[in-house]
Structure 1
Amino acid sequence: MTLYTSTVVVPQKKSRIWAKLRENVLYAIGLPLLLLLVWGIWGTISPGRFFPGPGVIADAFVRTWIGPAFVVDVLPSLGRLALGILLSVVIGIAAGAVIGRVRWLRDLLTPVLEFFRAIPPPALIPIVAVMIGATDSMKVVVIVAGSIWPVLLNTIDGVKSVDSVMQETSRSFSLTRYERVRYLILPAASPRIMAGVRQTLSIALILLVISEMFYSSSGLGYQIVFFQRNYLIAEMWSGIVLLGLIGVLLAAIFGVVERSVLRWYHGTREVERA
């Protein structure tokens, strides 16, 4: 009887796994395929020159970005984007942990932080360009200046919201300050920190494009504006599609990192739901 049950249950479990996998794949690609179909039909029946079909844009995408432009324009933009995100996350977490831990410093800096956070980041581009010059460093500074705030403020909120009982318990076990930060405070604040990082990714991509549109002679933002000014509509759309693909790639990388960092958090949530 036991052998019969095991031979039946295992195939049923595998079938459920495959059914769930097929469902996830369908949800992931079903709507994009439907949108592409509608887009293709609309691009065929519409005489508008400024809204070409997906086939035309795909051809322009291959001609424009598969080749030297990938090395000259795409890779430098991705490098500046990665550096800006890395600096925003590192500086935001480090400064946020310190400010969140020290109450008088938090009370002192909160009005100033709220003031600078309210300034639209694109408004800082001319100032940074005058101070630093139209260089790659200027673009990275613009990215950091605008995208650091979600990580910084979420880290401050997460650190100051750590359970006081847990902190007192860690002190009673004679943990050092570094050990408390490493093993208690940052893990407890990590859900809010990761929420801030998610926002930082989209803001950094936006600021990269804006900075390259106005103060650059290469890069994705520059090329999109160049195509628009020269009425290369399909090439312009291909640049926009490339930006969307970069955003999808960033979201996928973030999803992997978040599942690794917050494995304990998602496990706790699953237990609570059960």
Structure 2
Amino acid sequence: MKRLALRLFFVVALPLLLVAAWWFASAGSTDVYWPPLRTILTTFPDVWTGERLRDDVLPSLLRLLAGYTSAAVVGVALGTVIGSYRRVRAVCEPVLEFLRAVPPPVLVPVIMLFAGIGDTMKIAVIASGCVWPILLNTVEGVRAVDSVMSETARSYGITGAARLRHVVLRSASPQIFAGLRQALSIGIILMVISEMSASSNGLGFTIVQFQRTFAIPDMWTGILVLGLLGFLLSVVFQLVERRVLGWYHGLRASSRRS
């Protein structure tokens, strides 16, 4: 119980310290672009009503979910194939290095030419950026599967889909989740960028509209919403990761104790 309370204190202490620093640093501000934090917090409930959450936040979350899920499926599937076969990896590696070096925001105009300016474009932009950390981490995770474990599974007749599920993907899952975690933050960034470029709703669109109409406190509330959204998604991801990788964290804990 004491350990949990101490951990909770460290989790909450730094955000509270930063908020307090922001509050006092901006308390006497008369700069129109740097309003006091109390003004932003007072404006927050007036801006982010239930209707705006439904019309702007929900569409953004759905686009993020669609793009992120698509990237996860493609990244894990291709990464497993590339990581399992040396010749496939030798052929694909130069192309992968070239494509991952292209910043996803640069692809926004190109994707707009083929997909238009609807939700398909925004989902494609999110997926195009999220897929690389998932793909590359999956490749490395599959390559690192213990050869002794693979041979043992083969000697017991565990082959095909059973070997893929219980040996390959299970062994590579910590690395895969590392890629999924990186992709989540990239997905949030690309969600906002795609909505800033061409959209009629969403968080990115709303923040830009506030900026263009010089509703600066409203703009800052949108930035706070993005920060809170990122924090909540991170918490949800950690809960899922702890659930799925319970065996891995338990193994690490036991090895530290020994």
Code of the aligned partner of 2:68: I
Q: Counterpart of 1:8?
A: none
2:28–2:36 contact (8 Å) kept in structure 1: no
Secondary structure at 2:27 match in 1: helix
Q: Counterpart of 1:191?
A: 174
Q: Structure 2 CA distance, aligned partners of 1:210 and 1:121?
A: 10
- Kindly state the Cα deviation for residue 131 of structure 1 after the two structures are TM-superposed: 0.7
Code of the aligned partner of 1:138: M
Larger radius of gyration: 1
Q: Does residue 1:113 correspond to 2:64, yes or no?
A: no
Q: Counterpart of 2:3?
A: 20
Q: Does residue 1:145 correspond to 2:145, yes or no?
A: no
Q: Does residue 1:203 correspond to 2:194, yes or no?
A: no
Q: Counterpart of 2:24?
A: 41
Unaligned runs of 5+ in 1: 1-16
Secondary structure at 1:50 match in 2: coil
- Kindly state the Cα deviation for residue 39 of structure 1 after the two structures are TM-superposed: 1.5
- Kindly state the Cα deviation for residue 263 of structure 1 after the two structures are TM-superposed: 1.0
Q: What's the CA shift string for 1:8-63, capped at 9, x where partnerless?
A: xxxxxxxxx1x223212221222222222221212222222212222211222211
What is the aligned-residue RMSD (CA, Å)?
1.1
2:41–2:221 contact (8 Å) kept in structure 1: yes
Q: Structure 2 CA distance, aligned partners of 1:113 and 1:210?
A: 23
Q: Structure 2 CA distance, aligned partners of 1:171 and 1:234?
A: 63
State how 1:37-186 maps to structure 2 within 5 Å.
37-186=20-169
Match of 2:232 among 219, 226, 249: 249
Code of the aligned partner of 1:41: F
Match of 1:262 among 238, 245, 253: 245
Q: Counterpart of 1:10?
A: none
Q: Structure 1 CA distance, aligned partners of 2:19 and 2:158?
A: 57
- Kindly state the Cα deviation for residue 199 of structure 1 after the two structures are TM-superposed: 0.3
Q: Structure 1 CA distance, aligned partners of 2:154 and 2:251?
A: 25
Q: Structure 2 CA distance, aligned partners of 1:60 and 1:203?
A: 29
Q: Higher mean Cα deviation, 47-56 or 211-220?
A: 47-56
Q: Which runs of 4+ in 1 moved over 6 A?
A: none
Match of 2:222 among 227, 239, 244: 239
2:27–2:38 contact (8 Å) kept in structure 1: no
Secondary structure at 1:162 match in 2: coil
Q: What's the CA shift string for 1:104-161, capped at 9, x where partnerless?
A: 1111111101100000000000000011100101100010011110000100111011
- Kindly state the Cα deviation for residue 202 of structure 1 after the two structures are TM-superposed: 0.3
> How many equivalent residue pairs?
257
Q: Structure 2 CA distance, aligned partners of 1:66 and 1:36?
A: 23
Q: Structure 2 CA distance, aligned partners of 1:128 and 1:234?
A: 33
Unaligned runs of 5+ in 2: none
Code of the aligned partner of 1:225: V
2:133–2:179 contact (8 Å) kept in structure 1: yes
- Percent pairwise identity: 47
Q: Counterpart of 1:4?
A: none
Q: Does residue 1:213 correspond to 2:207, yes or no?
A: no
TM-score norm. by structure 2 comes to: 0.97
Secondary structure at 2:24 match in 1: helix
Code of the aligned partner of 1:86: T
Code of the aligned partner of 2:199: S
Q: What's the CA shift string for 1:49-97, capped at 9, x where partnerless?
A: 2122222112222111123111111111110011111111111111111
Q: Higher mean Cα deviation, 245-254 or 95-104?
A: 95-104
2:27–2:37 contact (8 Å) kept in structure 1: no
